[in-house]
C-alpha cells in the first residue's frame, strides 16, 4: 500500500512552498516531498514566503507552513512593507490573496494550544502535527492537492465598525 500511495503521489505534478523557521523541518519536508516527485520551494519565514508568492514565475499549488513563525525582531507591518513577518495563519490568508487557487496545510508541534491562540477551529484547514511522519505528510499532501482550494481572505473576517484596514 505504501508503494502504491507513493507512486500515485509521484504522478501528481505540483509545486509546494514549505515555510518553517526551523531549517531542519524545511529540509525534512523538502526531502520527503521531492522523494515523492514533487517540486519544493523553501522559505525560512513568512516574509520570504510572501516574496516567493509574489515573484515566483511558475505555479505554487500548496503552501505547507508552520503555524508559529516568530519574527526575527520587532516589526510593524505597514503599506510600505508588503512582506511583513506574520504567523502561519496570517501568511495563509495573505498568500491566498496573492495566489488564487492556493491550497493550505498548517503544521505545529502543539496544535491544540496554537490553534486556540490563533482562533482557528480544528478542521477549518488541513493540519499536520509535528513531529512529522512521512506517510502522514504524503497522504495529507495528496488529499489536499486532490481537493478544491479553500476560499480564504481578509475580507471574510468579522470586522468591528472601528476596525482599521492595516494591510489594504
pLDDT of residue 113: 59
Domain boundaries, the chain: 2-72+83-152
Which fold is adopted by the domain 2-72+83-152? Rossmann fold (3.40.50)
Q: Please give the chain's pLDDT, 168 residues, in tens.
A: 444 444 444 456 899 999 999 999 999 999 999 999 999 999 999 999 999 999 999 999 999 999 888 765 555 555 566 777 788 888 998 999 999 999 999 998 876 655 556 556 666 678 898 899 999 999 999 999 999 887 765 444 444 554 444 443
Report the side by side order of strands in the sheet with 103-108: 39-43, 15-19, 62-66, 103-108, 127-129
Percent of the chain with pLDDT over 70: 68
Q: Whole-prediction pTM value? A: 0.78
Cell output for 3: 508503494
Amino acid at each position: 500500500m505504501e508503494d502504491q500511495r507513493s507512486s500515485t503521489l509521484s504522478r501528481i505534478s505540483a509545486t509546494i512552498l514549505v515555510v518553517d523557521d526551523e531549517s531542519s523541518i524545511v529540509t525534512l519536508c523538502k526531502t520527503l516531498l521531492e522523494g515523492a516527485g514533487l517540486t519544493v520551494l523553501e522559505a525560512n519565514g513568512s516574509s520570504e514566503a510572501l516574496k516567493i508568492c509574489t515573484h515566483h514565475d511558475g505555479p505554487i499549488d500548496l503552501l505547507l507552513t508552520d503555524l508559529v513563525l516568530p519574527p526575527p525582531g520587532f516589526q510593524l507591518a505597514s503599506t510600505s512593507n508588503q512582506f511583513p513577518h506574520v504567523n502561519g495563519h496570517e501568511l495563509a490568508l495573505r498568500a491566498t490573496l496573492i495566489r488564487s487557487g492556493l491550497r493550505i496545510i498548517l503544521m505545529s508541534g502543539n496544535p491544540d494550544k496554537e490553534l486556540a491562540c490563533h482562533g482557528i477551529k480544528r478542521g477549518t484547514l488541513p493540519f499536520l502535527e509535528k513531529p512529522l511522519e512521512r506517510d502522514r505528510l504524503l497522504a495529507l499532501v495528496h488529499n489536499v492537492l486532490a481537493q478544491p482550494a479553500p476560499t480564504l481572505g481578509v475580507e471574510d473576517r468579522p470586522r468591528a465598525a472601528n476596525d482599521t484596514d492595516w494591510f489594504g
